[in-house]
């Protein structure tokens, strides 16, 4: 099977692509804890890339500046994977959560 992401994909399309990619490559499909660890690791790499690319970022000798776009893509892959493992439709979850958020009153520290 040749993996190919549709043009103008929906979030569901991303989830399906990640599922097929993981099956094709023989990656973890069931161990949620392990997948959470990998997700957290990728989030850490994203944070490092953002810090290293910031005006005040610094890196040690032998280090390289991370690619923010690649790290964001990795985070999305693991997020889709975790959603697949737990039976969550990310698009619907987003819509449902945003409807709750619309009804909340938002305050910022110092605005009280």
pLDDT reading at 102 higher than 80: yes
Does residue 65 have a pLDDT over 90? no
User: In total, how many domains does the chain have?
Assistant: 1
DSSP structure class, residue 103:
T
- pLDDT band of residue 110 (cuts 50, 70, 90) is confident
Cα separation, 100 vs 89, in Å, equals 17
**DSSP assignment string, 19-82:** HHHHHHHT--SS-HHHHHHHHHHHHHHHHHHHHHTSTT----TT-----HHHHHHHHHHHHHHH
Mean pLDDT of the chain: 91
Does residue 55 sit within a domain? yes
What percentage of the chain reaches a pLDDT higher than 70? Answer: 89
Would residue 35 count as lying in a domain?
A: yes
Q: pLDDT band for position 62 (50/70/90)?
A: low
The enclosing domain of 88 has a CATH number of 1.10.287.1080
Q: What is the pLDDT of residue 56?
A: 72
């Amino acid at each position: 099977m040749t993996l190919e992401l549709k043009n103008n994909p929906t979030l569901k399309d991303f989830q399906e692509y990640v599922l097929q990619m993981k099956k094709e490559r023989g990656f973890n499909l069931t161990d949620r804890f392990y997948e959470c660890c990998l997700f957290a690791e990728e989030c850490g790499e994203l944070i490092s890339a953002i810090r290293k690319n910031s005006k005040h970022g610094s890196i040690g000798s032998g280090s390289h500046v991370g690619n923010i776009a690649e790290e964001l893509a990795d985070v999305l892959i693991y997020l889709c994977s975790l959603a697949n493992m737990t039976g969550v439709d990310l698009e619907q979850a987003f819509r449902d959560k945003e409807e709750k958020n619309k009804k909340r009153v938002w305050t910022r520290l110092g605005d009280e």
